[in-house]
Amino acid sequence: MVDFRHLGAFVRVYQERNYSHAGYGIYTTRKSIVRMMQNLERVFDCSLFTEGLRGELVPGPFAERLNNDLRFLNAARHRMKDHIAAVHENGRVVHVGSSPAVFRTREFRNLFRGLQSLDGIRSCFAPIEVSDASKALVSGHCDLYVGCWTGSAGRFLTQEAGTVSFRRYQRGTPGETGTGKIDCFRVFLDGKMPDHPVYHECDGEWQPLDEARWLYWLDHPEDCPVGTVIFGPDVQIDTDYWQAEEDAGTGNGLGIHATFLRQHAYEFLPTLMNKILTRTQTA
């Protein structure tokens, strides 16, 4: 059986062309180095080095090929060591996924900033539609999924992470009126929406508004008809184009959850979930 330590010793002997000098470089004795080379020769069933006229070691054909092959392995090992050192210095990366609409909410932004403030991890955002949440968690594309979706299968663990408040928005500035009938919309968030309050502009004819159209109107408010009323999640808006209720409140809102794989390689995720819960309870 080949030991990585023996392969490392082989590389050192190949470079130094001397057993004693190779031993100095890896803090071991000449006798140990010789024994390692003999073990490799038994495993590979061939001679690695012969002694030259001046006592220097001369690598044989197999040793030349082995050294060439080990260059790529050693390069990969060095990259892995650098990566591990970076992880210890900067923290492990936690990919947090959510749908684009949840990402725009104040609750998610606050949650994400809280994760970024924790020691030992680095939070990165991964945009993932709710329909792909389960697949993304299983494949490792994200470590946490935050949204209205909860993993119902036994392979997932879910923790409450807060409530997204909904509020009334109206396209236009105070005093600006549209032409014709006012359209009223309710925004779906991860396929769900809360009950809406009664507004005098809307007589019960509420239309569903999908996330894509909602996000498009947020980014291109000039394309939304003036006077349009939207009951949607609490987000940052351009006040040159939109009016919003002063107090969103939580009476009309949707709970969001942080879900992760039960058998995740990161052993600290349950603790992370508890920190999320503590944060939401004290906020």
Q: 32-46, 56-70, 149-163: lowest mean pLDDT where?
A: 149-163
- Number of Cβ atoms within 10 Å of the Cβ of 247: 7
Q: What percentage of the chain carries pLDDT values higher than 90?
A: 34
Residue predicted with more confidence, 159 or 135 = 135
Question: How far apart are the C-alpha atoms of 108 and 157, rounded to whole Å?
Answer: 19
pLDDT class of 200 with cuts at 50, 70, 90 = low
In this predicted structure, what is the pLDDT of residue 177?
Answer: 63
One-letter amino acid for residue 239 of the chain:
T
What dihedral angle (degrees, nearest 10) is formed by the CA atoms of 278, 279, 281, 283?
160
How many Å from the N-terminal Cα to the C-terminal Cα in the chain?
Answer: 57
In this predicted structure, what is the pLDDT of residue 125?
Answer: 92
Cβ 186 vs Cβ 231: under 8 Å: yes
Alpha-carbon distances of 238 from 10, 109, 179, 220, rounded to whole Å = 66, 17, 22, 10
> In the predicted model, is pLDDT for residue 158 greater than 90?
no
Question: How far apart are the C-alpha atoms of 268 and 273, rounded to whole Å?
Answer: 9
Cβ 56 vs Cβ 17: under 8 Å: yes
In this predicted structure, what is the pLDDT of residue 54?
Answer: 79
- What is the average per-residue pLDDT within 36-61? 90
Residues with Cβ within 8 Å of 2's Cβ and at least 6 positions away in sequence, in order, are 40, 43
In this predicted structure, what is the pLDDT of residue 119?
Answer: 75
Chain mean pLDDT for the chain? 84
List, for residues 93-131, the tens digit of each pLDDT value.
889 999 999 999 988 998 888 888 777 788 889 999 999
pLDDT class of 160 with cuts at 50, 70, 90 = confident
Task: Please determine, looking at this structure, whether the domain spanning 4-89 carries the CATH number 3.30.70.100.
Answer: no
How long a stretch of residues is the chain?
283
> In the predicted model, is pLDDT for residue 36 greater than 60?
yes
In this predicted structure, what is the pLDDT of residue 233?
Answer: 92
The domain locations on the chain are: 4-89, 92-161+254-282, 164-253
List, for residues 205-233, the tens digit of each pLDDT value.
788 999 999 999 999 999 999 989 999 99
CATH topology of domain 92-161+254-282: D-Maltodextrin-Binding Protein; domain 2 (3.40.190)
